[in-house]
Amino acid sequence: MNAKRKDMIATVIIDLIVAIVVGILFFLLAYILIKGLPHVSWSFLTGATDSFDGTGGIGVQLFNSFYLLVLTMLISIPISLGAGIYLAEYAKDNWRTSLIRSAIEVLSSLPSVVVGLFGFLLFVVKFKIGFSVISGAIALTFFNLPLLTRNIEESLSAVPRSQREAGLSLGLSKWKTEVGIILPVALPGIVTGVVLSAGRVFGEAAALIYTAGQSAPVTNFADWNPMDAASPLNPFRPAETLAVHIWKMNTEGLASNAAALSAAASAVLIIAVLLFNLGARVLGSYLYRRVTASK
Amino acid sequence: MLKQYSFDKTAVQTFDDQTSLALKTENLQVFYGTNHAMHDANLAFPKNQITALIGASGSGKSTYLRSLNRMNDTIATVTGKIWYHGVDINEPNVNIYEIRRHIGMVFQRPNPFAKSIRENITYALRANGVKNKTELTERIEKSLRGAALWDEVKDSLDKSALSLSGGQQQRLCIARSIAMAPDVLLLDEPCSALDPISTVKVEETLLELQKQYTIIIVTHNMQQAARISSQCAFFHLGHVMEYTPTGTMFSNPQIPVTQDYISGSFG
What pLDDT is recorded for position B179? 92
pLDDT tens, position by position, B55-69: 988 888 999 999 999
How do residues B245-261 score in pLDDT, each as one tens digit?
998 888 988 888 888 88
- Which residues of A are less than 8 Å from B97 in CB distance? 171-173
**Closest CA–CA distance from residue B160 to any residue of chain A (Å):** 5
Least confident of A180-194, B8-22, B122-136, B172-186: B8-22
pLDDT of A55: 64
Contact with chain B for residue A16, Cβ under 8 A:
no
Name the closest residue on chain A to residue B70, using Cα atoms: A169
User: Which is nearest to B240 in space by CA: B5, B78, B3?
Assistant: B5
Q: Which of B105, B111, B116, B163 to mutate to test the interface with A (most CBs of A within 10 A)?
A: B111
| Residue A107 CB neighbour total at 10 angstroms | 15
Residue B82: pLDDT over 60: yes
Q: How do residues A228-274 score in pLDDT, each as one tens digit?
A: 666 777 777 777 888 888 888 888 777 777 788 888 888 888 998 88
Number of residues that this document lists for chain A:
295
pLDDT digits (tens, 9 = 90+) for B130-164: 888 899 999 999 999 888 889 999 899 988 898 89
- B107: chain A residues, CB-CB within 8 Å: 162, 165-166, 169
Q: Are A271 and A193 in contact (CB under 8 A)?
A: no
pLDDT interval class at B267 (50, 70, 90): low
Residue A204 Cα distances to A112, A242, A245, angstroms = 8, 9, 11
B164-179 tens-digit pLDDT: 988 899 999 999 999 9
Nearest to A166 among B111, B158, B162 (CB): B111
Please, what are the domains in chain B?
11-262 (3.40.50.300)
Q: How confident is the model at residue B86 (pLDDT cuts 50, 70, 90)?
A: confident
Rounded distance between C-alpha atoms, residue B50 and residue B67, angstroms: 18
- For A187-241, the pLDDT digits (tens) are 888 988 888 888 888 888 888 888 877 777 766 676 777 766 667 777 777 778 8
Task: State which fold the A40-292 domain adopts.
Answer: MetI-like fold (1.10.3720)
What is the per-residue pLDDT for A127? Answer: 86
Instruction: Report the C-alpha gap between A253 and A248 in whole angstroms.
Output: 6
3-state secondary structure chain B: CCCCCCCCCCEECCCCCCCCEEEEEEEEEEEECCEEEEEEECCEEECCCEEEEEECCCCCHHHHHHHHCCCCCCCCEEEEEEEECCEECCCCCCCHHHHHHHEEEECCCCCCCCCEHHHHHHHHHHHCCCCCHHHHHHHHHHHHHHCCCHHHHCCCCCCEHHHCCHHHHHHHHHHHHHCCCCCEEEEECCCCCCCHHHHHHHHHHHHHHCCCCEEEEECCCHHHHHHHCCEEEEEECCEEEEEEEHHHHHHCCCCHHHHHHHHCCCC
Residues of B in contact with A181 (CB under 8 A): 113, 123
Q: Which residues of A touch B101 (CB under 8 A)?
A: 170-171
Across residues A149-166, what is the average pLDDT?
A: 92
pLDDT at B3 over 80: no
Residue A218: per-residue pLDDT? 67
The DSSP bridge partners found for residue B25 are: B82
Cα–Cα distance for residue pair B37/B39, rounded to 1 Å: 7
Distance separating alpha carbons of residues A124 and A207, to the nearest angstrom:
13
Smallest Cα distance from A173 to chain B, Å? 7
* B151-185 as b/e: b if 16+ CB within 10 A: ebbeeebebbbbebeebbbbbbbbbbbbbbbbbbb
User: Smallest CA–CA separation between B82 and chain A, in Å?
Assistant: 17
Contact B111 A173 (CB under 8 A): no
Q: Is the pLDDT of residue B1 over 70?
A: no
- The count of CB pairs under 8 A between chains A and B is 75
The Cα of B177 is separated from the nearest Cα of chain A by a number of Å equal to 7
Number of Cβ within a 10 Å radius of residue B124: 28
Sequence spans of domains, chain A? 40-292
Give A276's pLDDT tier (boundaries 50, 70, 90).
confident
**Distance (Å, rounded) from C-alpha A63 to C-alpha A242?**
9
Question: What are the tens digits of pLDDT across the range A49-67?
Answer: 766 666 677 888 888 888 8
User: Which residue stretches of A86-129 are H helix?
Assistant: 95-108, 112-119
Which of A163, A181, A292 is opposite residue B160, by nearest beta carbon?
A292
Q: Do B115 and A160 touch (CB under 8 A)?
A: no
Mean pLDDT over each residue of chain A, to the nearest integer: 85
Please check the confidence at residue A295 and state whether its pLDDT lies above 60.
Answer: no
Residues 102-131 of B with CB under 8 A from A: 104-105, 107, 109, 111-116, 119, 123-124, 127-128
Mean pLDDT for B237-251 is 90
Task: Identify the pLDDT of residue A78.
Answer: 94
Interface list for A 176-195 with B (CB within 8 A): 176, 180-181, 184-185
Question: Is the CB of residue A262 less than 8 Å from the CB of residue A251?
Answer: no
Q: Decide if B128 and A162 are in contact by the 8 Å CB cutoff.
A: no
Per-residue model confidence as pLDDT tens digits over B27-45:
999 999 888 889 989 999 9
- The answer to whether the Cβ–Cβ distance between B127 and A176 falls below 8 Å is yes
Average pLDDT over residues A147-159: 93
Select the residue of A170, A176, A291 nearest B100 (Cβ to Cβ): A170
ipTM, interface predicted TM-score of the complex: 0.86
Any A CB within 8 A of B173 CB: yes
Average pLDDT over residues A96-113: 90
- Residue B203: alpha-carbon gap to chain centroid: 13
pLDDT score of B194 more than 90: no
Q: Which residues of B touch A165 (CB under 8 A)?
A: 71, 105, 107, 111
pLDDT for the residue B21 = 87
